[in-house]
Amino acid sequence: MTDIDDAIDDVRDAAMDLLNSEGRSAGHVVAGIALTVGFALLAHTIASGALKPRRNLKQVRDKDLPITEKPKGAFSLILPAVFSATTLSAVRVWNAPPQKERTRAMGLWVAAQTVNAVWLGLRPSSMARQVVAAMSSAGLAAAFAHEARKLDEGAGKMAAPLGSGVRFGNFLHRKADDASGGRTLH
């Protein structure tokens, strides 16, 4: 074998490990990627514009506006990576051996993506709705991560980002906003 053949084998092995696809046909893996990425894109589309938030004059006057707006600046580059990690986690779950836990985990992933898209689209402005949105999203994400970990530890770890990472991202976002003086790159 040549160095190129060895490199191709290494890349193939790394991809099989990343996708948890050992023993799966290429068609099964491609179908899993297409389904999960397609569903994630559909959820993003719903969240981006299909649902419009309702605001009344009192909310605008009291500055009681939604806090779940589209991210701007550097943070807008981080958020897609987080969603990509959960989608990759779902691909790993899809490629796990067929069993009821896999079906349950994929159902939880679909439910989490749907609920997140709906809440992002609605952009709740009241404190109570924001709490319900956060709790339902976090609960479904935790349930998916738990089920995913039963099937594949790597998938579970991808699906359960650390709170410290989110806290650090928010810190960077605040610092970037302070340093920019309200100016944007757009």
Q: Is the pLDDT score of 4 beyond 80?
A: yes
pLDDT band at 105, cuts 50/70/90? very high
Domain annotation covers residue 85: yes
Res. 186: pLDDT tops 50: no
> Which of 90, 104, 100, 61 shows the shortest CA–CA distance to 152?
90
75/121: higher pLDDT: 121
Asked if residue 49 belongs to a domain, the reply is no
Give the span between the Cα atoms of 45 and 75, in whole angstroms.
19
Residue 111 has pLDDT above 60, yes or no: yes
**What is the C-alpha separation between 100 and 105, in angstroms, rounded?**
9
Question: Does 143 score more than 80 pLDDT?
Answer: yes
Residue 100 lies in a domain: yes
Report CA-CA distances (Å) from 144 to 35, 82, 177: 17, 15, 33
Range of the domain at 96: 80-111
Q: Cα–Cα distance between 93 and 19 in angstroms, integer? A: 9
| CA distances from residue 21 to 74, 140, 160 in whole angstroms, order as listed | 33, 25, 21
Give domain status of residue 132, yes or no: no
Contact call for residues 82 and 160 (beta carbons, < 8 A):
no
| Whole-angstrom distance, CA of residue 16 vs CA of residue 3 | 20
What is the total count of domains within the chain? 1
Q: What pLDDT is attached to residue 25?
A: 87
This prediction's pTM? 0.62
Q: Is 105 part of a structural domain of the chain?
A: yes
What's the whole-number mean pLDDT along residues 100-126?
85
In a domain, 182, yes or no: no
- pLDDT (0 to 100) of residue 68: 46
Confirm whether 99 is domain-assigned.
Answer: yes
Residue 101 in domain: yes
pLDDT reported for residue 107: 93
